[in-house]
């Protein structure tokens, strides 16, 4: 199961819009996608309630795990998404 870590760039952390964007992206991916703080329990990244329940703040390090077809590609896409602030001007 491929996994990677990243610091969350969204100024709001994984709340509201950034969480919804992550969950929507994860839901499009076949297989399992899990997210959580490094060294702590992981939750289903396809569940908005589970992701919001983590209460991840901006700058916190999270671990993402993927499994299934194209797991490496899915992991790379999700890590790139988490490294970007969706509300940043540009």
Give the CATH number for residue 63. 3.30.1340.10
Q: What is the pLDDT along the chain (90 residues), one digit of tens a residue?
A: 899 999 999 999 999 999 999 999 999 999 999 999 999 999 999 999 999 999 999 999 999 999 999 999 999 999 999 999 988 755
Q: Domain count of the chain?
A: 1
Q: pTM, whole model, 2 decimals? A: 0.92
- Beta bridge partner(s), residue 67: 32
Residue 72 lies in a domain: yes
Q: Is 39 exposed, middle or buried (0-12, 13-18, 19+ CB in 10 A)?
A: exposed
Residue 62 lies in a domain: yes
Instruction: Please give the positions annotated as active site.
Output: 15
- CA–chain centroid gap for 56, Å, is 10
- Expressed as residue numbers, the domain containing 48 is 3-82
Contact assessment for residue 42 and residue 35, using Cβ atoms and an 8 Å cutoff: yes
Q: Is 64 exposed, middle or buried (0-12, 13-18, 19+ CB in 10 A)?
A: buried
């Amino acid at each position: 199961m491929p996994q990677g870590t990243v610091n969350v760039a969204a100024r709001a952390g994984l709340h509201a819009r950034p969480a919804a964007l992550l969950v929507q992206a994860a839901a499009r991916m076949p297989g399992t996608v899990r997210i959580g703080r490094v060294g702590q329990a992981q939750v289903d990244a396809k569940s908005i309630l589970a992701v919001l329940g983590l209460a991840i703040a901006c700058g916190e390090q999270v671990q993402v795990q993927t499994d299934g077809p194209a797991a490496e590609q899915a992991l790379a896409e999700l890590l790139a998404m988490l490294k970007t602030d969706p509300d940043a001007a540009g």
